[in-house]
Each structure stands twice: as structure tokens, then as C-alpha cells.
Structure 1
Amino acid sequence: MKDEYMIYKLSDSIKSTSHIDNELFVKHNVKRGLRNEDHSGVLVGLTKIGDVVGYERMPEGGLKAIPGKLVYRGINIEDLVKGIEKENRYGFEETAFLLLSGFLPDKDELETFTRLLNQSMPLEQKTTMNILDLEGHNIMNILARSVLEMYTFDPNPDDTSRDNLMRQSIELIAKFPTIIAYAYNILRHSQQGRSLHIRHPKENLSIAENFLFMLKGPQYTQSEARILDLALMLHADHGGGNNSTFTVRVTSSSGTDTYSSIAAGIGSLKGPLHGGANLRVIDMFHHLQEVISDWTDKDEIDAYLTKMLRKEGYNKSGKIYGIGHAVYTISDPRALLLKEWARNLAKEKGLDKEFAFLELIEERAIETFMKFKGNQVKKRVCANVDFYSGFVYEMIGLPKEVYTPLFAMSRITGWTAHRIEELNFDSKRIIRPAYKNVSEDAPFIPLDKR
């Protein structure tokens, strides 16, 4: 009991020792969350890798909402996706090449790069065996531990030369699908008592196809593989300021090894405010399917969404998950592209009514939110990519345990590209922002007088 009381006493002290009045942040002009008062991000760096655009600054001051744009190495994501779609082929490998190199590959370069990725997908035997031992409820933790273990098998783990960074990046991009698929099958076996399947990746398949094959065998369609490939393309990068990429850049600026830096990024992405949003959306969607009796009744939908915003419905958080984004205002280009493909897959799966309901929720959620918030909200909101990604993954037949790991499987391309850029600035400097101490001076009191 004495030990428990001590834990309680220390915990109780947090209420006063960790509390800082909001007025102090204003007084000292602290940009909480590295956000300006207009909710735009504080400029902390420069990059040539990607851009996320949701508004433009007006000459007279203030921000003007514009349709969202996502740019990879100067190429609009819509042009990249539509161009590859027109040629009827998979595009994630090409996206990875673009982000790492800065240019689009020609046919021979793409074939060589794809072959290199495929050859790198199998794991070291010891890594495979260790994944078998890494039983746990969360695949993100298993992924982070497996990445750290890759350090021990790397002949030059601490070498930050350009050649070595590129080699490590290719290895990580190639091995993430294998680690995640194996980790899920282990979890499925240990937690659900299901048969254990360890399928080796095939060299003639795309990364999207290989992931589906390793996860659930040959029981997948080309439509499923193509929409997964699209999702991987859309999540591959999102500028240098998103939480996990910034984490990778901060740790990379210290000069640490690639595996430590990427494991830190995984830890950041695991957070429910970052990588777990689509899980919340799909759970909310299933709840709405149960509580809304008429899926076409706008008034009934509006009434319940308002109830949610009042913290009276669903999980009483006051949030409509999948609505709103830190940068995008009028539209999230990723959501628009994924929604277009999701509509076709829903038709193929006989889920037209469910898709129509989800689409109507998107429409009514935006209107209800803007009406409910009124003058409190400073910018327009839109559906973000998470609003549709969970529904897509469910249609493909993917288990919820891999939703966030899938995000990491895609974003590893952006993480490695940003790490390479951070370590190749002409003038390297460790990222070290300032924190102002607002505690009061206190005297030291001898132990026998406390």
C-alpha cells in the first residue's frame, strides 16, 4: 500500500506542477503546436520534397481558402495518379523513386528500381524468427522493434553518406510490407488461435500485390490491389511539417542512425491524433449505420451529427472524425482521388448503399459543423483522406490491426527522403527550438526540515 500511495502522491502532484495557464502562452507569444494564430504552421525549414497547400496568403493580410493541392517533387499528386492510371499500371514504386531521387524514372530505371525493391523484400532469417517471438497487441510496436533490430544486421548502420542512406532507404521501403504482414499473421495466430501463414514475397508482384499476398494469400482481386496501390501513393509524403516526418527530421539532425530515426517516426505515427484517424472514422461509420434508421434522410443525419458535436452522441468527444484538416480547407486532394476509386470498388462489391451513406455523411457533416460552430470556426473544413481510407481497407478485407501500419508502410518513403535531405544540407544544424521556463524560484530545504 505504501508503494501505491507513493505512485498516487506523485501522480496527484502533476495537477499543479504540470499546469501552465493559457494566458502565459499568449503573453510570451508561444506558438503552441508550432501553429500561428491563423492556424497555419510556423515556418521552421525548407524542403524540395513535397508541398501541402490549402490556402494562399492575401497581400492585405489573412488567408484565402483554395482547393487543396499535394505536390511531390513539383508534380501535382492528381497528375501523377491520373498519368499512371491512364497507363494501367501500379504506381507506388514510381512514387518512391520520385520522392527519393527528385525526378521521374525512365522505363529502364523504373524496372531496375522495382527489381531492387523486390529483391530486398525478404527478411533476414533471424528477423523472421524474432518477429515470431515479438507477440503483442500492436503491430506498430512490433514494426518499431523490428526496425531497430535491422541495425544489428546492417554492415554500416551509422554511415550517413549519400550512398549508404539510399541503400538503407530502399531496404526499409522494401521490408516494411513483409514485417507488417508477418507481424499480423503472428498476432492472428497468438491472439485468435488461427493458423499461422508465413508467405514469402514474390519478385513478379508489385508492393501492393505482395502485401495482400503475404497477408491473406492469393485471394485478392486486381481492383483491390490497385486501390491499395493508390492509397500507398497518396500517403507517401505530406510535407516536412507533419508530426512523424518532423520527428524524423529532428532526430536526423542530431546525426543518429537511420533505424533509430525511423523508429521514432513510427512512434509518432502511432499516436491516435496522427496515424489512427481512419480507425476512428470506420468505427463512427458503423455506429451511424446502426443509429440512423433512414440512410437517405438528411434531417435525421443532421440531427444526430449535431448531437455528436454537443458531446451527446457516439463517444461524446464532440468530434466528427475524418472532417477537418490542419492545412486543407476546401478539399483534400487525397480524399477526392480515393473517393473516386472507392465508388467503383463499392459498386463491384455490392456496397453502393453503404458508399452513398458515407458520401451523404460527408456532405452533412461539413454543413452541420460549419452551422454548429458559427463564428467560432476561423476556416472552412473538408473531409480528409481518413474519411474514406478506412472504408476502402474494409472493402479490401484488411484487418483493422494493419490500418495504421499501412500508413507507415507508405510514409516510410517520405520519411527516408526527408532524412536524406536533412543530412545533406550544406550547413548542418541540430533542430533545437526554445522553451521558456515560467516556474518560480524555490529555495533548497534540508531533508530533516521538509
Structure 2
Amino acid sequence: MSYDSFSEECAAIKEHLIYDLSDAMREATTMDLDLFKQYNVKRGLRNEDGTGVLVGLTRIGNVVGYQKSDAGLTPIPGKLFYRGIDVNDIVYALLKEKRLGFEEVSYLLLSGKLPNKQQLEEFKSLIAQEMPLEKKTRLHLIDLEGSDIMNILARTVLEMYIYDKNPNDVSQSNLMRQSLYLLSKFPTVISYAYHVLRHAYNGRTMHIRHPREDLSIAENLLFMIKGEEYTELDARTLDLLLLLQADHGGGNNSTFTVRVTSSTMTDTYSSIAAGIGSLKGPLHGGANLMVADMLDHLKENIKKWDDQEEIDAYLYQMLNKEVYNKTGLIYGIGHAVYTISDPRAILLKELARDLAKEKGRTEEMDFLELVEARSIEAFSNFKKGTKKRVSSNIDFYSGFVYDMIGIPKEIFTPLFAMARIVGWCAHRNEEITFAGKRIIRPGYSSIAPEKPYIEIQSR
């Protein structure tokens, strides 16, 4: 038998085996949904009213979208708190003073307190000095293959374990050192990975720009991606996005993933890589790409962007699974906690309007705001009888904002990770250093009937 014939026969056997196994898997994974109620299982760690099952306590972030009482849930305007401070207060103070604030919020989340001027300057200086990559990491990134920067980011984080002299040390000082190290390296890793991808897959010239110590995290990211071609408003808007996505409580999927893995006392790099894997999913951090794709589709298929009736008709078709990707979803609308409003979306929308004026894209911005309003109305009418309130979430505007700044889609979700690394590290540090820690191990009830083992000759 020739090598080619052997390879073809192996491929045929492999394809047949995969088909048989996947068919068996389909049967083995089928369950009656009524059994979940019978066993009182909280699917997705959600209570019957949609709230999350309480599994822990934290002093880091708080997400508020409703008031809970004996009468049930009462929707209220959304609030987000960092270490007990309303994020609205932080943002409006920064806007008033025309300061960038991601580093300040990072200090707050990691330490539990606001820095004074000297502490903030020292913190910013340290992050900027740590931002350049080690030579081995730079060379490794250039040699990496792969079209997904989230995967490259995860692999690079795991590689950082090798270069850390104390990777398994979970003392408080070492955990903080690793937190600052990761915070400083993420912008550079993402920038390198993007330019390598751009060169490998698009045949473009590879521009590698080194971070500058006189720039903030947001400014350095823009500089390393675009060079000098960004405005002050670009930097302020990106800084706001990073600030608003720095933390979202302990219950969001990626942060919970970091806390679950941290509870085993694994190393920082393994835990953060797990968080990256979680955030990558289209039902979590990858949702911003889904919104961007949907809005591109709407702009192409709705002829008159100011025609409310045409917009309504198309949205109802989407909800009826007749157009677009036929999932019945309007991406960027609705949130697990926020009901009446997502405070992050409101704050981002304010700067988005200013940015749209600067970029000459006010017509698109008006269209997005109209789609947002009509989507909420369409959902309410479509789901008649339901008490659920929905609002737009931060993903609804983030993709459009990134596009106006000139950020490529390949790094939409990596930038989310670049912001959330602060929250991940803060929650990991809390999980590990808390005196009452226990390994997180929820229960699963087996519904498989017992059966005897059958000797292979008798099968």
C-alpha cells in the first residue's frame, strides 16, 4: 500500500470514528430539562428569578440593577461601584479635570484605596517602566502562528510563568508584584500580536513600536497600534472604556473562573489564562464583536436610517428569527443584572457623541441611538406578558467607539482583557489571601442509572 493510500484510509477511519463518537455523545448529553427543577438545580448558577446564586463575598466591585424584597425584584437604574465608590462619581470627576483615569482606578481596585498625587505618579511611572517586553517574549511573539489574539495572549501569559523567578509564591507581596507585571505587559503583548498577525495574514509591513514612559496605558496602546495618528479625544475615550471594564463584580464568568482556579492555589499565570479563555466566548467578552457585526448588517439592510417604521419592522424580523443570523437575538440589548439601564453604556454614549462629531460620523451615531431605543421597545412588545426590563449594555456602543478611534476588530476583545486584568488580579488576590478561603467545589447530581460492566467479548 502506498503512503498516499494509507493516509486516505486513515483519514476515512478517523472520519468514521469521529462521526460514531459524536453521535453517541449527542445521546449521552441529552437531558430532560424538567429534571433540573425536580432536583432543584440552579442552571447557570441562576435562581428562578434570574438573579445569581450567592456563592461568595467581595469588597472589590458591586453591580446593582434591581432591589430585592419579599415582593420580588424591583428594577432600578443601574449602578456600578468600585471599592464602594460610585463609578459615575469617578468618571465625572475625571471628565471635569480632563484627566485620564484607568491607572487611578487600577490602583483603587488593587489596593482598596484611592491614591494621592504622589502615589498615583509613582504607580503610573512603575507601570510605564515595566511595559516593554523581555527579549525572549518579543521573539516568541514574532514566531507565533494563529489568527486569534486572545489565544496568543493566553499562551503568552502561560509562558510568563517560565520567566518568573517565583511563579508559585502566593505571598501578598508576590501577588501584587505579579498583578502589576501583568497590568503593564498586556498592552504591549496585544500590540505585538496584532502587528504579527497583520504581517502574517494580510501581508502588511510589521511595525513594532516600543512603549513610551511619558504615555498612559491608553495612550501607549494607541501609539503602539497606530503610531502618532490619534487625538486627545481618542485617548480619553479609550481610557474611559478601559476604566468602565476594569471590574464587574465577582460573578461575571471570567472573574468567577479566575476565583475558581485561584481557590485551588494554582499559580497566577494559569489562573489568568483561564480567565482569558472565558472572556473570549461570544456570550461574554466576545459579545462586542457580535454587536459590531450586527450593526454593520443593519446599516447595510436598512435604507433610511431615520425611518422608525423601517427599523421597527426589521427588528421584529430579527426577533422572529427571519433575518440576520436567525438567532432571535438583538446583540447589545439586555444584561444579566442591569434592568432599566447599564451605567457604563450611558457614560460611554456621552463620549461617543463627542467622538462622532470629531470624526464626522454623527449620522451613524444618530442611527445607533435610534436602533437602541427601538430595540428596547421591540423587545418589550415582542415579549408581552414578561416582567423583564431590558436596556442596552456597554457592548452596544463599544464596537462603534473602537471603530471611530481606529482600533481593528482583531483586538476588540483583547482590549476588554487588557481592562479586566485589573479586576481579575484584585479578585484572585482577595480569594487567596482571605483567611476563610476554601476550594470552590459545587455539587452535581448524577442522573445516570447504575448498570453492570459487560465483558468485551459479550458487547
TM over 0.5: yes
Counterparts of 1:249-288 in structure 2, within 5 Å, are 249-288=259-298
CA contact (8 A) 1:244 1:268 kept: yes
Query: CA offset at residue 20 of structure 1?
Result: 1.1
CA distance in 2, matches of 1:200, 1:7: 47
User: Residue 18 of structure 2 corresponds to which residue in structure 1?
Assistant: 7
Query: CA offset at residue 324 of structure 1?
Result: 0.2
User: Residue 35 of structure 2 corresponds to which residue in structure 1?
Assistant: 24
Which amino acid in 1 is paired with 2:26? K
Task: Pick one of 9, 15, 34 that aligns with 2:45.
Answer: 34
User: Residue 240 of structure 2 corresponds to which residue in structure 1?
Assistant: 230
CA contact (8 A) 1:38 1:378 kept: no
CA distance in 2, matches of 1:57, 1:389: 30
Task: Pick one of 297, 306, 310 that aligns with 2:320.
Answer: 310
Of stretches 278-287 and 254-263 in structure 1, the one that deviates more from structure 2 is 278-287
Of stretches 289-298 and 351-360 in structure 1, the one that deviates more from structure 2 is 289-298
Task: Pick one of 155, 179, 188 that aligns with 1:178.
Answer: 188
Counterparts of 1:43-62 in structure 2, within 5 Å, are 43-58=54-69, 60-62=70-72
Which runs of 5 or more residues in structure 2 are unaligned? 1-11
User: Residue 332 of structure 1 corresponds to which residue in structure 2?
Assistant: 342
Counterparts of 1:132-151 in structure 2, within 5 Å, are 132-151=142-161
Which amino acid in 1 is paired with 2:347? L
Query: CA offset at residue 139 of structure 1?
Result: 0.1
User: Residue 107 of structure 2 corresponds to which residue in structure 1?
Assistant: 97
Task: Pick one of 431, 435, 441 that aligns with 1:432.
Answer: 441
CA distance in 1, matches of 2:240, 2:13: 56
User: Residue 446 of structure 1 corresponds to which residue in structure 2?
Assistant: 455
Query: CA offset at residue 116 of structure 1?
Result: 0.7
CA contact (8 A) 1:158 1:258 kept: yes
Residue 398 (str. 1) matches residue 425 (str. 2): no
Which amino acid in 1 is paired with 2:301? V
Q: Which contiguous aligned blocks of 4+ residues in structure 1 show a shift greater than 2 angstroms? A: none
SS at match of 1:356: helix
Tell me how many residue pairs correspond in the alignment: 448
CA contact (8 A) 1:281 1:322 kept: yes
Deviations 1:371-404 (A, max 9, x none): 01111x3410000000000000000011000000
Query: CA offset at residue 217 of structure 1?
Result: 0.8
Deviations 1:145-184 (A, max 9, x none): 1001111111100000000000000000000000000000
- TM, length-normalised to structure 1: 0.99
CA distance in 2, matches of 1:317, 1:325: 17
Query: CA offset at residue 3 of structure 1?
Result: 2.6
CA contact (8 A) 1:332 1:384 kept: yes
Task: Pick one of 162, 167, 189 that aligns with 2:172.
Answer: 162
Query: CA offset at residue 61 of structure 1?
Result: 2.6
Deviations 1:189-216 (A, max 9, x none): 0000000111110000000000000111
User: Residue 377 of structure 2 corresponds to which residue in structure 1?
Assistant: 367
Query: CA offset at residue 187 of structure 1?
Result: 0.2
CA distance in 2, matches of 1:6, 1:362: 47
CA distance in 1, matches of 2:362, 2:37: 49
Identity %: 64
User: Residue 220 of structure 2 corresponds to which residue in structure 1?
Assistant: 210
CA distance in 2, matches of 1:188, 1:234: 28
**How much is the aligned-residue C-alpha RMSD, in angstroms?**
0.7
Query: CA offset at residue 428 of structure 1?
Result: 2.0
Deviations 1:345-392 (A, max 9, x none): 0011111110000000000000001101111x3410000000000000
Query: CA offset at residue 423 of structure 1?
Result: 0.5
Which amino acid in 2 is paired with 1:23? D
- TM, length-normalised to structure 2: 0.97
CA distance in 2, matches of 1:140, 1:363: 32
SS at match of 2:306: coil
Which amino acid in 2 is paired with 1:413? V
Which runs of 5 or more residues in structure 1 are unaligned? none
Query: CA offset at residue 292 of structure 1?
Result: 1.0
Residue 189 (str. 1) matches residue 199 (str. 2): yes
CA distance in 1, matches of 2:19, 2:452: 25
Query: CA offset at residue 2 of structure 1?
Result: 2.6
CA distance in 1, matches of 2:229, 2:307: 37
Query: CA offset at residue 15 of structure 1?
Result: 1.8
Deviations 1:223-250 (A, max 9, x none): 1011000000000000000000000000
SS at match of 1:293: coil
